[in-house]
Amino acid sequence: MHTTLLLDMAADAAPDRLALGRMADGVTFDEVRNRARAGAAWLSDLGGDTVAFLGLNGPALAVAVFASGLLGKPFTPLNYRLTDADLNKLLARTAPSVAIVDEDMVGRLQPAEGVTVVTRGAFEAACLDEANRSRELAEVDPDIGVLLFTSGTTGEPKAAVLRHRNLTSYVISTVEFLGSEEHEAALVSVPAYHIAGISAVLTGVYGGRRTVHLPAFTPEIWVEEAAAEKVTHAMVVPTMLGRILDVLEKRGEHLPHLKALSYGGGRMPHPVIERALRILPHVDFVNAYGLTETSSTIAVLGPDDHREAMSSSDEAVRKRLGSVGRPLPTLEVEIRGPEGELLSAGQSGEIYVRGEQVSGEYLHKKAVQDDGWFATNDGGWMDDDGYLYVEGRLDDVIVRGGENISPGEIEDVLREHPQVADVAVLGLPDNEWGELVAAAVVTKDGDPSGDELAGWVKARLRSTKTPEVWEFREALPYNETGKLLRRQLKVEMTAAAKHPATV
């Protein structure tokens, strides 16, 4: 089933309902379809096998997702927060392609062979052009709906493959068709290059809910928009929530229209969610755990779970606030040990998942087993009632603010510094960001400061990849075979952060 069928269904059944944008000047479902068809017709003249997208959130994103589906070409959103060098590398990898790019990002791009760059404005105008709107589109039978670059521990980002059948399976099994009431509105501030940003487009359309996109997040703008647009549903990454709560408290704003707030993409610190439940008692909180490779959500901690956990006197139930809830009924989840053996409740291992919405595929590489089971690379365990707890990445990827950061890349850069003899980069738990980037450094021929090394990294990678915690050591821990004992280092550094040595 194709994602464009989701739009057709909504546009056929609720053509005049607002689909995107503000109450005052939003776009109806019927109009979204018209624009997607026009956009597809226009793009079809420009060639390429993929439609890349580099830009902020907004109605054009949703239109572009469906336009590429109508064209039968994969949609590839690119991360605008990458350095220019990394961005251009990814852009080149999309070739042959057409790239829809925000006007103020065009200047960052180098010409790439096989990539035709068009501005967002040109795409938007084409979608309104009568000539394009009346063109017939060729019949297509696309397979890949979305390609999303995702970072691993080392090396170049992999392109995660999400087929139309994975995406639609996820949508139709978790969303009731036109299940949203007409007054509902969703506020989406998760960027386009995050799987949640893409699935929000699809689930919003299928559910028949108006989606307001926030191009760039600040907690003040979020609160203002949520109030002004009478937003009923919103999704945030955990780091945004704490900052939003600060603004709400400062302004005495209670967002009376807000019915549900969902979050995911990284660890939600206990103190933050508890504070949210206290400040916004009328809001249903939902923790959604998922991965790019699983078309987003595979487990949900629902509103009742949240409230029960907050008010229970049973320790095991209270603990659930730190879980990601129970797996979706359409999926199977298992915890397996290092030999692939099935583990029982309470035992820690790797989280495996199987189901229609699971892709687990990358371009040029398959990570899903022949029997459909996908190893998530997340460590975790399940309790006796089937609540899933996620302990963190097994492959040492750092998740800071909902973003995957590869320690290997930062280590490589630091090793180039003439006074760095050895280095390990890892994530340390943090209440605001989920994890902070920390570096343990062994120096030689001098004593560079943390600030100096931070400057070195920042000049070569983007600022979110710059370590914020620096520890200088005589040596890093290795085992007999020369393998860096990251886990041990992490334990030591976490303990040290809690009990900083007094000088």
Residue from 199, 292, 357, 376 touching another protein (CB under 8 A): that is: 199
For residues 268 and 277, give the distance between their C-alpha atoms in angstroms, rounded to a whole number: 13
In the complex, minimum distance from the CB of residue 378 to another protein, in angstroms, rounded to a whole number: 17
| Ramachandran angles phi, psi of 117, nearest 5° | -95, 130
Task: For residue 187, state whether it binds another protein (rule: CB under 8 A).
Answer: no
Residue from 108, 135, 165, 230 touching another protein (CB under 8 A): that is: 165
Considering the complex, state which of residue 137 and residue 469 has its C-beta at the smaller distance from another protein.
Answer: 137
Task: For residue 172, state whether it binds another protein (rule: CB under 8 A).
Answer: yes
Task: For residue 84, state whether it binds another protein (rule: CB under 8 A).
Answer: no
Task: For residue 279, state whether it binds another protein (rule: CB under 8 A).
Answer: no
Task: For residue 204, state whether it binds another protein (rule: CB under 8 A).
Answer: yes
Q: How far is CA 39 from CA 67, 161, 190, 197, in A?
A: 6, 23, 24, 20
Numbers of helices and strands, H then E, in the chain: 16, 26
Q: Helix, strand, coil: what percent of the chain each, to 5?
A: 35, 25, 35
For residues 397 and 435, give the distance between their C-alpha atoms in angstroms, rounded to a whole number: 10
Here's the x/- map for another protein, 22-41, by CB under 8 A: it reads as --------------------
Task: For residue 329, state whether it binds another protein (rule: CB under 8 A).
Answer: yes
Here's the x/- map for another protein, 117-156, by CB under 8 A: it reads as ----------------------x-----------------
In the complex, minimum distance from the CB of residue 203 to another protein, in angstroms, rounded to a whole number: 4
In the complex, minimum distance from the CB of residue 196 to another protein, in angstroms, rounded to a whole number: 6
Considering the complex, state which of residue 296 and residue 406 has its C-beta at the smaller distance from another protein.
Answer: 296
Task: For residue 307, state whether it binds another protein (rule: CB under 8 A).
Answer: no
- Of the candidate spans 3-11, 310-318, 411-419, 450-458, the one that interacts with another protein by CB under 8 A turns out to be 3-11
Q: What would the two tokens of residue 80 be?
A: 């605008």
In the complex, minimum distance from the CB of residue 163 to another protein, in angstroms, rounded to a whole number: 10
| Long-range interactions of 489-495: CB distance < 8 A, separation 24+ | 489/424, 489/426, 489/440, 490/426, 490/427, 490/428, 493/426, 493/428, 493/438, 493/440, 493/469, 494/428, 494/429
Considering the complex, state which of residue 101 and residue 188 has its C-beta at the smaller distance from another protein.
Answer: 188
- Supply angle C-alpha 168, 379, 238, rounded to 5: 65
Radius of gyration of the chain (CA): 23
For residues 364 and 376, give the distance between their C-alpha atoms in angstroms, rounded to a whole number: 18
Question: What DSSP character marks residue 344?
Answer: -
Query: Three-state SS for 336?
Result: strand
Binding site for another protein (CB under 8 A): 1-2, 5, 8-9, 12-13, 139, 164-165, 169, 172-179, 196, 199-200, 202-204, 207, 233, 235, 260, 262, 264, 284, 286, 288, 296-297, 300, 302-303, 328-329
